[in-house]
Structure 1
Amino acid sequence: MTPRLLLTLACALTPGLVTTACAQDNEAQPAAVERAQWPFTATEFGRFDEPWAMTFLPDGGLLVTEKGGKLRHFDVTSRKSTEITGVPAVAYGGQGGLGDVVLHPQFASNQLVYISYAEAGDGDTRGAAVARAKLQLDKAGGGKLADLQVIWRQTPKVTGSGHYGHRIAFDQDGKLWISSSERQKFDPAQDMKANLGKLIRLNDDGSVPADNPFVDQGSPADQVWSLGHRNILGIAFDAQQRLWAHEMGPKGGDELNLIQRGGNYGYPLVSNGNHYDGREIPNHDTRPDFIAPKVTWWEVISPAGLIIYSGSQFPQWQGSGFIGGLSSKSLVRVAFEGENASEAERFDMGERIREVEQGPDGAIWLLEDGKGGRLLKLTPRN
């Protein structure tokens, strides 16, 4: 019997959430919180066609992306949804389409919006791209993206329609971060001649910061902050500006990672999960030269969307992380203690949760996945 199988059998006796090595930390998965005990009420505000991401505007309105290629402006007061034109053509299919949307840190003065999307290439190839444009809203609530400029692309473009990643975020210094997943091609995550399977750090115009860890290796390695990632679908900075990222692992290996400068997270050479065809992947504890996840979900949650809560409506949750669960149809709360993390509680939402955002007033907003996906506002229960 292989060491990995012995570990799997041992973990089967204590299912659920474990850290790097189940045999070392057999922390049981918290039971889902009973609906009657939820500290929040979920109110539906609208429905969208395969929504993927959202971001709040300074006036409290929302920008919502739909995977098929539409960007919408949503007025939370009137609950009216209108289309924003000027979005580039997307390679829709599988996991591909229109992805993330974020505002430039100085949006109030420059009106710049950043979007990510799957882009068609030569032949049957595709890759993620990030573009920025000026948002011009009209009095009717609609508007357009003007002066759109593509500032980053996955390279190389490859066949297939999975694992784009393309989550985007800004840090407090105005640097742009992009999750570039490995497109289900495995090996590129370790290949510095490709920017697949990497976490990317750029200036806001797409240029490369001089202090990136691999800048002396030339393009595209100069874009890379960390490598060895599979499919990052959530990135967020905590109050200490530590970057946390979760990713869909292979079978039995979803992860939450604390990102380190120049760090190698090991995929596909190591993982706490196995390939879907049953082939084993060596565990993280066999290769201490790779950075192990802070949390592994052996019973996968299929994570999507990530915030670290800082609002006032739920003071008991300040500093907690919230992750949407797709296959788990859940909202997962993660507690942090310095550079460590653990699942604290889970709420069974009954539908696949694609996106999580914090509203200007401290409410938590969710987007359900799929056609007719609901926009939900979570506010404290009276």
Structure 2
Amino acid sequence: MRRTVFTDDHESFRTKIREFVEREVVPVYPEWERAGLVPRALYRRLGELGVFVIEVPEQFGGAGESSYKYQAVLREEIARAGVSFGADVVHTCLVQPYLLEYGSAEQKRRWLPKFVTGELMTAIAMTEPGTGSDLAGIKTSARLSADGTHYVLNGAKTFITGGVQADLILVVCRTAPIDPANRRAGLSILCVDTTSEGFAVGRKLEKLGLRAQDTAELSFTDVKVPVANLLGQDGAAFSYLTHNLVRERLGAAVGAYANASAAIEFTLDTLRQHYPDGVDQNAKFVLAECDTEVAAAQAWVDRALDLDETGALSAADAAKIKLFCTEVAGRVIDRCLQLHGESGYLLDSPIGRLYADIRVNRIYAGSSEVMKAIIAKSIGI
């Protein structure tokens, strides 16, 4: 199906990213996976390529674009090559919206110029041991000092993508005790400099997939955070967190679709190599079914990208596209691995990596079960 969602500028960006990935990422990607993170120099290169500037205002060194479509192009090209850029997606798609929407003018002047160059890498710390999807259950706390100049932060976070290499971490914490009548109240976001005394990176977690993307446990022991590093208003964090979920879930859907599409291409290449005289009917039928599902996911993604650009993508729509695309990706990649046979079960094969990487898509940015609850509520049940 012919796509109309991207312009010539998007396609020029695609060409630049594709050439960079093929030349500088694919040859060394196995080393990054073995190390469990990408080299810090990669982020500086992404800064040079303009990956981090897209949505940042021009006065801070950015390009001032509001469209998510450039990010969609980037995710498609990464998936096409079977690689990742480490924690770049957290930097640009999760942290950046918070800084742009809720950062003060002073905070933007302080952080964004180095944000766009990759000199200052960021992460966001929400999840805690035992909290899972229940953000209202956050226990990490921050107490305002007697003189009102700083907060004293204590607690622990886990599953923090980019936590090993981040220079600035947006930490969701309690600045007021839990109110049983409104557990969502009293949450704030503090921007923590990772050179602060009392901050520590714990284990770098060994994950099933996304092995070149560092994920860590973090701890905070009497960390002093200047009041100037409070993002937005004290106690307003829960509304901030929900505000960005539509774009976050769109991103998960785009990544899922792109990986499912890549799985079909990897499988076609493998089958053509092994069966130059033609594949059997079963493989044809399996790939026909997969291609049809991916075409439907692509149509959803393209429509959602257009809606997002006008601000018309609703929370329910984002939940639907996230649920549909991540479930499609899980089915399609599983079927494609089956067609590879034993070779597909190897982690150094593109389809094997995809199989491991895609599983988390049905968990992060809200699990499939959470998406179903949102959708059910939207239809009045």
TM-score under structure 2 normalisation? 0.25
| Greater helix fraction, Structure 1 or Structure 2 | 2
Q: Which protein is bigger by CA-based radius of gyration?
A: 2
Q: TM-score, normalised by structure 1?
A: 0.25
